[in-house]
Amino acid sequence: MNFFKRPKNEELRKTPKDFTKKIELKDDHKYKPVIAIKDPDEFPRIILETATDYYKEIVEFLVAIGEPIVRTKNFQEYEINTFSLYSAASMGIDTDDIIHILENISKNYLQEELKKYIIDNTKTYGIARIILKNNRYFIKCKTKEILKKISEIQEVKYSHKKILDLERKKPKNMEIEENFQNNNINNEKKEEIPSEGDGYIEIYSDDYFRVRKACENQGYPLLEEFDFKEDKGLELKIVPKFKSPIRSYQEKALNIMCNNGIARSGIIVLPCGAGKTLVGILAICTIKRNTIIICNNNVSVQQWYREINDWVNITGEKGKKVVCRFTSNKSQRDTLEFINKEAGILITSYTMISSTKKRNPEVQKALDLLSNIEWGLMIIDEVQLLPAETFSSIIREKFKSHCKLGLTATLVREDSKIVNLQYLIGPKHYEANWLDLQKEGFLARVKCIEIWSEMYPSFYEKYLGCSNMEKKKVLYVSNPTKYLITLMLLEKHKGDKIIIFSDNLFTIERYNELFIKRLLNYNNFRFKLITGKTGNKEREESLKDFKNENGINILLMTKVGDISIDIPNANVIIQVSSHFGSRMQEAQRFGRILRPKKML
């Protein structure tokens, strides 16, 4: 049974239902802010009235146990599922507390089906952990009975058998040689650990994710924790500069991840512009161990590199560089001086370390070195991209770490692979409500306006007569009325920093050509086109110029601008076309203008 699978009939979740006969209201229901309901065909749902004196405390609790589905000014809706209950358990919220708090804040008496669902999906959470030590993985359980049950899971049994077989076949002189190699890598004698003992067993490292997935499917999710205070690995000499005060929600997110010297693998969700990068940097400053940061692209690598150097003081022995970039751009690839000698920070991209193409000897040698490091912390930026098969191999096969931190503004995918993050990374630690951050002034207040663009009759006739769907798509995206409305909007927002998005490459290039003819040297409109064809150097120069108050004021972009682009001064978006139905894309584009600005 897959404990993380959604209901088979997705349409049932969209159909309005009458619960008046299924729930019983309390006498004092007028004074309670929540309705908690469970239908046999759906996950439990929580509906919150925001007009309550205890709004902040209740929202914190609901975010901990559920996934936000709808957030409006007056009402919010949350879904309780196995993913969210696992997150709650990882934060130490036990079954009785969840049921007790829900009973206290609900307008209705909790249904027995709801209570049973919560009990069934939390009773085995937090009782087993997976630990990395000496580049070996161990499953550790609270009791021998639980370990026995987990050991009987087929994938666990098979993986542990591999270890036992290797031990029987391995000559003693090979153990001496391995210890010698390990001593050279970490400059210290490795503790000898048997493959099984009191409350733990070892699993074969290549089976790590297969074992985690199998345990979760059987209802025994493995928490990944790192006791960094007791760890004897190389320590990173890093101190934060604190250029500005750390925000309360950033501190809360960090405290959930790192508490009492224990770092827990998991995911932190913050809106675009809310300071995800800073949370990652603070995590590095807290754990102070070898760190690898995996980004979406080379531009993002550069942004992380700048932010780390802006926010922390970090030094290596004899002035050696310990914050290094490892990218496909040779001019931005640093010499990995710290490898095997001292702790450092490596910043790279998904494609750089996941590509299966033949590498040049220098890059391949560096990759081999990096894959042998026992990383203290792995930070995965834009973690929603990780479940893609190409990218997930990064942490499935190539790199081992004690603790993993996933960062994102949009924990959504339009396929079913988002649940894979549960075993690839861990539970969701924290998710901030962008509406609350707006109220507190941390994010800008944004208006969304939809403008319908009619087609000219002659153009519409051609559109209807086109049988090729790809050409038809280009026609409706390239609707001349849209172009004229775009010109009108540019005139209206003269003086603003504007991004024009189009998923269709032909259309955005055509807009650029028309702008060159019509807008060049007109009304101080300065614009630049950025697509997948644009080189990294040109892209960075354009973004830098856009940030300049007297520089470019219009960026024409394809979907390359959806993710990992830091342009805090943008305050207007014109979306000519999008990937229809992608919640992630809409939220990411929306986030380009969420940074607070004086002009707003």
Question: What's 322's domain CATH number?
Answer: 3.40.50.300
Which pLDDT value is given to residue 360? 80
Same domain, 541 and 575: yes
Q: How many domains does the chain have?
A: 4
575: domain range? 457-591
Residue 171 lies in a domain: yes
Same domain, 53 and 87: yes
Rounded Cα distance, 228 and 238, in Å: 15
Hunting for tokens 């087609």 — which residue is that?
Answer: 455
- In a 3-state reduction of DSSP, which class is residue 408? strand
Same domain, 292 and 391: yes
Amino acid at 588: Q
The residue among 87, 120, 153 that closes a domain is 120
Rounded Cα distance, 498 and 489, in Å: 10
Query: pLDDT by residue for the chain (600 residues), tens digit each?
Result: 343 444 444 444 455 666 666 788 999 999 999 999 998 878 899 999 999 999 989 999 999 899 888 888 899 999 998 888 888 887 888 899 999 999 999 999 999 999 999 998 888 887 898 988 877 899 999 888 999 999 999 999 999 999 999 888 776 554 444 443 444 444 445 567 888 888 899 999 889 888 998 998 888 888 888 989 888 888 898 988 877 889 999 999 999 999 888 899 999 999 888 889 999 999 999 999 999 999 988 888 988 999 999 999 887 776 667 888 888 776 666 766 666 678 889 999 888 887 777 778 888 888 888 888 889 999 999 888 887 776 776 676 678 889 999 999 888 776 777 778 888 898 889 988 888 888 888 888 888 888 998 888 888 888 898 888 888 888 888 888 999 999 899 889 988 999 999 888 888 999 988 888 776 556 678 889 999 888 878 888 888 888 888 888 999 998 888 777 778 888 999 988 876 656 777 777 877 888 776 533
Same domain, 169 and 277: no
Distances in Å between the Cα of 229 and the Cα atoms of 241, 287, 551 are: 22, 8, 48
Same domain, 353 and 374: yes
Same domain, 177 and 318: no
The residue among 94, 120, 146 that closes a domain is 120
In sequence order, what are the residues at sequence separation of 6 or more whose Cβ sits closer than 8 angstroms to the Cβ of residue 297? 349, 351, 563, 564
Which pLDDT value is given to residue 185? 42
Rounded Cα distance, 321 and 315, in Å: 7
Residue 215 lies in a domain: yes
The two three-digit tokens of residue 461, written as one number:
């006739």
From 563, 550, 591, 557, select the one nearest 577 (Cα to Cα). Answer: 557
> Quick one: how far is CA 16 from the chain centroid?
32
Q: Nearest 5 degrees, angle CA 437-CA 442-CA 446? A: 75
Q: What is the pTM (predicted TM-score) of this model?
A: 0.82
Same domain, 323 and 370: yes
The residue among 76, 101, 120 that closes a domain is 120
Same domain, 80 and 141: no
Same domain, 273 and 214: no
Residue 308 lies in a domain: yes
Angle between helices 469-477 and 505-518 (to 10 degrees): 30
Tell me which DSSP letter residue 403 carries: E
Angle between helices 248-257 and 276-287 (to 10 degrees): 40
491 contacts 483 by C-beta, under 8 angstroms:
no
Same domain, 211 and 267: no
Residue 230 lies in a domain: no
Residue 450 lies in a domain: no
The two three-digit tokens of residue 248, written as one number:
């309360």
Same domain, 398 and 517: no
223 contacts 129 by C-beta, under 8 angstroms:
yes
Residue 226 lies in a domain: no
- In a 3-state reduction of DSSP, which class is residue 557? strand
Same domain, 248 and 152: no
* Backbone CA torsion sign across 144, 150, 154, 159: negative
Residue 515 lies in a domain: yes
The two three-digit tokens of residue 477, written as one number:
């995206």
Sheet holding 345-349: strands in order across?
Answer: 323-326, 345-349, 291-295, 374-381, 400-408, 266-269, 428-431
